[in-house]
């Protein structure tokens, strides 16, 4: 499997890839440049929205438009009017924190987590935005809240706190959204970098982007075994999501930050979005039901 560059936007911190299969739209963000990108696969146009604060992640909303997690909390965003409608900021008392990665669970709740400027001190948390627009803290003492995925049978939620270099599995109750009994199921090895964003395929295997890892690795969360590795021409690989008509294309975001001038000469397309055709099909991203 070889990767191809599809969007050469040279993002400072590209993140949050999301494929909306209902509307054939692909989203990703540049956290530090405050930008939200939207690619329409029908007309092959890319639109860009710019905010006044960092944007951590975006999810499509079932009723239309999107929900975003910015530095200052959760917002609805109306793309046509270019208007933000605030929902709630659960960390208004922590001005140095910002939202990072997030996605929706199979029931349509929006899970998103935070980090501070250093990302290692445990000042972040993982939150969930319920369909009734209430917000609840689910996990505390988080360094850098990152990858999320749910098992195909909805029995488990997988979560990455990047500096721990682990993937933790929680028992997950689909109806209530309750999580408990955390268990480490993957220990990320040195050569893969730090685990960042994550997705799951239709075989129940996890695909994990490696910050400072130069690629994406595929893992069996039941055995902890690494199954595959896809090299990406960028040092800091941030996240991945399946997309395309049959969900066999893996879209991969990368970053330029944390990369030296010499490394950028070697990897000039760092910060771009890459795509690789895999030999498996991925799971759909879920939409916010609120």
Instruction: Read off the pTM.
Output: 0.97
Average pLDDT on 37-51 reads 96
pLDDT tier at 48, thresholds 50, 70, 90: very high
Phi, psi of 177 (to 5 degrees): 80, 10
> Which residue ranges make up the annotated binding site for a divalent metal cation?
15, 146, 196
In percent, how much of the chain has pLDDT > 90? Answer: 96
Residue 190 tokens read as 């040195």
* pLDDT above 90: residue 116: yes
Residue 96, classified by CB atoms within 10 Å of its CB into exposed (0-12), middle (13-18) or buried (19+), is exposed
CB atoms within 10 A of CB 44: 7
* pLDDT above 90: residue 134: yes
Strands laid side by side in the 4-7 sheet: 4-7, 273-277, 249-255, 236-243
pLDDT tier at 2, thresholds 50, 70, 90: confident
14-240: CATH topology is Neuraminidase (2.120.10)
Residue 265, classified by CB atoms within 10 Å of its CB into exposed (0-12), middle (13-18) or buried (19+), is exposed
Nearest of 164, 46, 79 to residue 113 by alpha carbon = 164
Nearest of 193, 200, 213, 197 to residue 161 by alpha carbon = 197
> Which residue ranges make up the annotated binding site?
15, 98, 100, 146, 196
pLDDT in tens, 196-239: 999 999 999 999 999 999 999 999 999 999 999 999 999 999 99
Average pLDDT on 44-57 reads 97
> Which residue ranges make up the annotated binding site for substrate?
98, 100
* pLDDT above 90: residue 290: yes
pLDDT tier at 118, thresholds 50, 70, 90: confident
Cα distances from 70 to residues 85, 98, 191, in angstroms, run: 12, 7, 32
* pLDDT above 80: residue 78: yes
All residues at 6 or more sequence positions from 273 whose CB lies less than 8 Å from its CB, including other chains: 5, 6, 7, 9, 14, 17, 28, 251, 252, 253, 254
All residues at 6 or more sequence positions from 193 whose CB lies less than 8 Å from its CB, including other chains: 210, 211, 212, 213, 214, 236, 237
pLDDT tier at 1, thresholds 50, 70, 90: confident
pLDDT tier at 117, thresholds 50, 70, 90: confident
Identify whether 20 is a catalytic site residue: no
User: Rounded to an integer, what distance in angstroms lies between the CA atom of residue 173 and that of residue 158?
Assistant: 13
Catalytic residue among 20, 161, 196, 201: 196
* pLDDT above 90: residue 52: yes
pLDDT in tens, 163-175: 999 999 999 999 9
């Amino acid at each position: 499997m070889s990767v191809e560059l599809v969007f050469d936007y040279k993002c400072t911190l590209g993140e949050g890839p999301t494929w909306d299969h209902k509307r054939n739209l692909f989203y990703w963000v540049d956290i530090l440049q405050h930008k939200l990108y939207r690619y329409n696969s029908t007309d092959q146009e890319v639109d860009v929205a710019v905010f006044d604060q960092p944007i951590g992640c975006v999810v499509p909303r079932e009723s239309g438009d999107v929900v975003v997690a910015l530095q200052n909390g959760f917002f609805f965003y109306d793309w046509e009017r270019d208007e933000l409608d605030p929902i709630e900021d659960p960390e208004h008392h922590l001005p140095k924190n910002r939202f990072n990665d997030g996605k929706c669970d199979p029931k349509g709740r929006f899970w998103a987590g935070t980090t501070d400027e250093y990302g290692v001190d445990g000042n972040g948390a993982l939150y969930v935005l319920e369909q009734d627009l209430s917000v609840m803290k689910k996990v505390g003492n988080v360094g850098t809240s990152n990858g999320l995925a749910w098992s195909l049978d909805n029995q488990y939620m997988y979560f990455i706190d990047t500096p721990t270099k682990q993937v933790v599995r929680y028992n997950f109750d689909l109806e209530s959204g309750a999580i408990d009994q955390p268990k480490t199921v993957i220990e990320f090895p040195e050569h893969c970098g730090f685990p960042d964003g994550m997705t799951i395929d239709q075989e129940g295997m996890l695909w994990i982007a490696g910050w400072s890892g130069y690629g994406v690795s595929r893992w069996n969360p039941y055995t902890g075994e690494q199954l595959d590795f896809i090299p990406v021409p960028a040092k800091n690989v941030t996240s991945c999501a399946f997309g395309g008509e049959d969900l066999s294309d893996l879209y991969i975001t990368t970053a330029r930050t944390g990369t030296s001038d010499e490394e950028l000469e070697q990897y000039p397309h760092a910060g771009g979005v890459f795509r690789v055709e895999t030999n498996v099909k991925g799971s759909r991203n879920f939409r916010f039901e609120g």
